[in-house]
Amino acid sequence: MLLRRFASGLVSSRKSNSAVISRSDLFQGLRCTRWTSHANSSTQVQPVPVVEADIVLVRDFIYSALYDENQGYFSARSSAVGELPTPINFNSLEGKRAYTQYIDNLYKRGDSSWFTPVELFQPYYGYALAEFILRTHSSSNPLIIYEIGGGTGTCARNILDYMKAHAPRTLYETMSYKSVEISGELAKKQYQKVTKGDENRKQFSVERRNASDRSGWGAAKKESCFVIMLEVLDNLPHDLVHRETSRSPWMEKWVLERTDGEVPGLPVEISKPLQDDLIIRCLEAMKGDPAQSRSVTRTLKNMVVKLLNASELLWIPTGCLKLLETLHSARPNMTLIASDFSLLPDVRLAGEGAPLVSSKKGGVNKDHATYLEAKGHTDIFFPTDFSVLQKLDHLCSAANGNTKTSRRSSVVNSAQFMDLFADTGKTLTRDGYNPLLEDFSNTKFYISTPAGGFKSDVGTQSTGSHSI
């Protein structure tokens, strides 16, 4: 399915070039101005006087809209993250149509905005992650797993169940699985699900905090560990930058929320000269050889922009950069396992890398043309540019004192990952359709580990990064 929420007609087939890969292939303060954005046109500029107001960077506005403890989307609508009453018996379904109808009914019966792949394909999706961890973990080290943004706890439960059944007894008994969760309601759900029946209480714990806050991690630890992030990157705050032409300086955008009570309506965007350090670092990191960091289509687009001297509007993953900086500082020897959406169709907002802004009421989804009306009831999620993610990951590692070749990384389609590590027969329908491999074709996995961190039977193709 093309979105993390379900919509009839958006279930896509597996890409024809998505071939099975081998294990060795896998690892490889000036005057403010008001901005009005339109989905299908360039940003227009008009002066507006600044009155008493709260002015925050776009990323801070998005963070508040999603994670504010009282009014944020994930606080006010923790039920938005779907939870299946029972696992789906895929072998009993006739085929794709039956599967699509089954998922459609799930959405109609509840108020959930989306079901994640790990939820829909439980327990086999989580089992595949556990199998990957078992194959790559060195038995000489204790097994330590961190999961960031653990949703309803399904992933943690499935992984721990698999470890209990398939790992050496001492490995399971001594392992540690820590969920880092910012939502209080979701943290409760996770703990209740994972420890139900007094199971996994010794192994599992939940730390309610912001994973990007370095202070929450305590002193840096050189221990080997795994960090899992499933559908986390898409909800990390982004910043928005703009320039009138390719020769103009970048301007950063802020959000003005009027507090004088005289001007009703939505907050507005404010443009300021580029000065935020995190935005500057992220823009610098995203530069470089276009052939290495950007697709051919995007490279051609940028060439046209420069030739036409056109304006540019760019969403940049500053939230991702901040999280990676924190993780590399706190746990430099981590193996990172991240899965997310590489493409989101039908986005109505302007700008390269723009998010999909969506709400659900009465079982009906509504896509919005602006993120400025997102306050507690609206989801804001972004596509992930995995080439940029890979670059940020390596740069953050290098900034922490490691060399740029000190990590091995790979980008693979989700179907490729599941072909290697999942029991795909368990998700096969009667006519041969396999949603674990053929649904969610717009998702990918990013695997990153310290060089030499894999067991010899898994290995990598090279000592550098490798994308498929």
Shared domain for 278 and 220, answered yes or no, is no
Same domain for 249 and 229: no
What pLDDT, on a 0 to 100 scale, did the predictor assign at position 106? 85
Is-cis flag, bond preceding 123, omega within 30?
yes
- What pLDDT is stored for residue 259 in this prediction? 60
230 and 253 in a common domain? no
pLDDT along the chain (468 residues), means of 10: 38 33 40 33 40 81 91 73 89 96 84 83 98 92 95 96 96 97 91 92 96 97 96 96 92 84 74 96 75 43 50 95 98 97 92 92 82 86 96 92 77 97 98 96 96 52 34
- Measured CA to CA, the distance from residue 139 to residue 117 in angstroms comes to 29
356 belongs to a structural domain: no
Confirm whether 282 is domain-assigned.
Answer: yes
Residues 164 and 130 in one domain: yes
Q: Can you give the pLDDT at residue 423?
A: 97
Does the residue 187 lie in any domain?
yes
> Is residue 245 located within the same domain as residue 107?
no
Is the same domain home to 224 and 250? Answer: no
Regarding whether 278 and 231 lie in a shared domain, the answer is: no
Alpha helices in 154-295 (DSSP H): 154-166, 169-174, 184-194, 277-286, 290-293
Within-domain flag for 78 = yes
Give the model's pLDDT for residue 231: 95
The total number of structural domains that make up the chain: 2
Phi, psi of 45 (to 5 degrees): -120, 135
Q: Is residue 460 included in any domain, yes or no?
A: no
Residue 173 belongs to some domain of the structure: yes
Shared-domain flag, residues 136 and 260: no
Q: Residue 55 to residues 195, 269, 272, 437: CA-CA distances in angstroms? A: 43, 9, 11, 45
Residues 383 and 345: their CA atoms lie apart, in Å, by 9
pTM given for the model: 0.84
**Would 349 be classed as within a structural domain?**
no
Q: What is the reported pLDDT for 14?
A: 28
Residues 72 and 218 in one domain: yes
Are 89 and 202 contained in the same domain?
yes
Query: Same domain, yes or no, for 152 and 220?
Result: yes
Per DSSP, the three-state class of 336 is strand
Shared domain check, 277 and 147: no
In 10 A of CB 272, how many CB atoms?
17
For residue 263, tell me if it sits in a domain. Answer: yes
What is the spatial distance between Cα 163 and Cα 135, in angstroms, rounded to a whole number?
12
Place of tokens 């595949």: 128
Q: Is 345 helix (H, G, I), strand (E, B) or coil?
A: coil
* Parent domain of 279: 239-287+309-316
Q: What is the CATH number of the domain that holds 420?
A: 3.40.50.150
The sign of the CA dihedral 397, 134, 161, 98 is positive
